[in-house]
Amino acid sequence: MARPKKVDAVKGSKEVVLTEMQQKIWGAIKDIEVEYFALPDQTIGTVCEPLNMVPEVLYLKLKGSAAVRSIEDALNKKTVKVEGKKLPIFIIEQQDKYTSVRQNPEVTTL
């Protein structure tokens, strides 16, 4: 496993050490726009911050519980065709007070 690198989570917050897979997921999702209370210029990176809890899964700490649905909607729109089937790139799950995001095992690239 590659040595984790420090990655800035969100402007003004503490640095978080993420694994290589978590960095790839965060890099792929942090700039995705979300509709959050009709506020302009909201992205996943502005409504949550990444956490390192399990090496192959990126956990998100949400700044408000209302962001859950917005994040799910935004990530579920990210799909790829594999063997003629439209598959979601990410698998999103709500777990206790965090949202987990991992790469769909049927999708080989982010």
The pLDDT tens digits of the residues spanning 40-90 come to: 888 999 999 999 999 999 999 988 777 888 899 899 999 999 888 999 999
- Cα separation, 1 vs 107, whole angstroms: 20
Question: What CATH topology corresponds to 5-103?
Answer: Gyrase A; domain 2 (3.30.1360)
Taking the CA atoms of 55, 56, 57 and 61 in sequence, report the sign of the dihedral they define: positive
Interval 24-41: pLDDT, tens: 999 999 999 998 777 788
